[in-house]
Chain A
């Protein structure tokens, strides 16, 4: 089953930041990492990814630099900034809260107690 992109759209920034925090990535590598990590259940197209990268870079959350790959060709790598790291921490807490709320709401709770 593939996940609808509407469901995850609001959290893609968080996903991209997480991947960049782990290690510097270049654009296509990020798209690949998303697909691989989810066993192809979710993939992100370049247009969406590009939009996110531009937004994050504009807000100073990530920075780009031109590096080289082992096989030769030049790659634009993205790296996290201190601001990006702080933003990620905040957003992660928000996500944890959302996860708890959704679990409580959808998996039933003790509202009658």
Chain B
């Protein structure tokens, strides 16, 4: 019967799912042991019964597939949100840098007195970059919550 326990525990371990612990595995072990017992009652010897039970078990995926799919989706969403957050940080820093450069040019080379604060115009344009990413990030974050 240890073979059955090892078989189930190994399968649960392979799936790396949260459900892998405790009760779920225990119930599956119980169910398979019941089958072994029944086969033995019908005249099969224990080793043969255990082999037959394991061979006929089928794919554990039948049990785990919905959970695996859920986990994968959650992971992908999390990754996307993370990705958008990085993009947002990058765009915000880069925009600040670009606006800074324009401001410096405006101050030192094409001064306010002659040309006015013109750097505001490219700055407004550049700001749309982080703004659009902020919008996307908030949207994705809303979806994954």
Residue total for B at the interface (Cβ-Cβ under 8 A): 21
B32 at the A interface (CB under 8 A): yes
For the residues of A in contact with B, the DSSP-based class is helix
The complex places the Cα of A27 from the Cα of B28 at a distance, in Å, of 9
Contact with A along B51-63 (1 / 0, CB 8 A): 0010011111111
B57–A54 contact, CB under 8 A?
no
Q: Which residues of B contact A50 (CB under 8 A)?
A: 27-28, 31, 62-63
Q: Which residues of B contact A18 (CB under 8 A)?
A: none
Interface stretch (choices B33-41, B69-77, B87-95, B96-104): B33-41
Given A45-B56, A51-B62, are A76 and B31 neighbors across the interface (CB < 8 Å)?
yes
Residue of B nearest to A43 (CB): B56
Task: Output the least CB separation between B43 and chain A (Å).
Answer: 13
Task: Output the least CB separation between B34 and chain A (Å).
Answer: 5
Q: Which residues of A contact B33 (CB under 8 A)?
A: 73
Q: Which residues of A contact B47 (CB under 8 A)?
A: none
B34–A48 contact, CB under 8 A?
no
Partner of B38, one of A28, A53, A54, A64: A28
Task: Output the least CB separation between B27 and chain A (Å).
Answer: 7
A73–B58 contact, CB under 8 A?
no
B32–A76 contact, CB under 8 A?
no
Task: Output the least CB separation between A87 and chain B (Å).
Answer: 18
For the residues of B in contact with A, the DSSP-based class is helix
Given A50-B63, A51-B62, are A45 and B31 neighbors across the interface (CB < 8 Å)?
no
B30 at the A interface (CB under 8 A): yes
A28–B34 contact, CB under 8 A?
yes
B57–A46 contact, CB under 8 A?
yes
Partner of B58, one of A32, A47, A69, A76: A47
Q: Which residues of B contact A48 (CB under 8 A)?
A: 58, 62-63
> Can you give 22 contacting A-B residue pairs, CB < 8 Å?
A26-B34, A27-B30, A27-B35, A28-B34, A45-B59, A45-B62, A46-B32, A46-B56, A46-B58, A47-B57, A47-B61, A47-B62, A47-B63, A49-B31, A50-B31, A50-B62, A50-B63, A51-B62, A51-B63, A73-B33, A75-B34, A76-B30
- Given contact pairs A46-B58, A64-B27, A71-B37, enumerate 10 new A-B contacts (beta carbons under 8 Å): A27-B31, A27-B35, A29-B38, A32-B38, A45-B56, A45-B58, A47-B59, A47-B61, A54-B27, A76-B34
Interface residues of B (CB under 8 A from A): 24, 27-28, 30-35, 37-38, 41, 53, 56-63
